């Protein structure tokens, strides 16, 4: 079985694709559609779900995740709005659809495990030894700026390849411990098993 994701942009694809496959190893491939921004996601996701549904043999999708950042707002209303739009659209794609608003930003999850960033730094010729970020990652609005500063200290470039590697190295338990809403994401990925 494969999964699909509808996300804001390429950074989201890099991180969510890796985390979904780690959370549920039975998922073979994660097909992605990027909307380039949360407002475009809200306006385009129904069309993209329809696109996935139009070619079930090629995609072999069992579930699609529509994911956007909450920018530290309450994620519940965002998810309810997306779900309501979906339910009123009349689209019946033949696969499960889950909605998730990440508390703050996806960079928050990457910042949760400083040891993963250190390992990626060492693997790429950097100094490693990245100190733990002492902020509440689920309420810190500038997680993306802080992430770039930490990468600079680690002598890492802010690329999707680096994001993918950090997501691959990060301990899921550590992310869940520092970002409790990550537990909800794990539950959604594993649902239906």
> pTM for this one?
0.94
| 1 CB neighbour count, 10 Å cutoff | 13
Domain ranges, ordered by start, for the chain? 2-104+179-190, 107-177
pLDDT tens readout for residues 57-72: 788 999 999 999 998 9
Confidence of residue 55 (pLDDT cuts 50, 70, 90): confident
Three-class secondary structure of residue 7 per DSSP: strand
Q: Which residue has the tokens 């992430």?
A: 147
pLDDT tens readout for residues 159-188: 999 999 999 999 999 999 999 999 999 999
CATH 3.40.50 is right for the domain spanning 2-104+179-190: yes
């Amino acid at each position: 079985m494969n999964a699909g994701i509808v996300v804001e942009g390429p950074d989201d694809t890099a991180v969510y694709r890796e985390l979904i496959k780690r959370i549920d190893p039975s998922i073979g491939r994660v097909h992605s559609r990027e909307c380039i921004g949360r407002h475009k996601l809200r306006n385009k996701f129904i069309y993209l779900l329809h696109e996935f549904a139009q070619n079930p043999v090629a995609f072999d999708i069992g579930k699609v995740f529509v994911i956007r950042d909450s920018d530290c707002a309450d994620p519940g209303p965002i998810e309810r709005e997306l779900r309501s739009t979906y339910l009123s659209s009349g689209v019946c794609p033949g696969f499960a659809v889950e909605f998730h608003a990440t508390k703050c930003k996806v960079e928050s999850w990457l910042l949760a495990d400083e040891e993963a960033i250190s390992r990626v730094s060492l693997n790429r010729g950097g100094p490693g030894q990245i100190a733990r970020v002492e902020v509440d990652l689920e309420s810190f609005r500038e997680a993306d700026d802080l992430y770039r500063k930490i990468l600079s200290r680690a002598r890492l470039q802010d690329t999707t390849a680096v994001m993918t590697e950090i997501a691959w190295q990060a301990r899921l338990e550590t992310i869940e411990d520092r970002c409790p809403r990550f537990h909800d994401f794990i539950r959604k990925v594993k649902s239906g098993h």
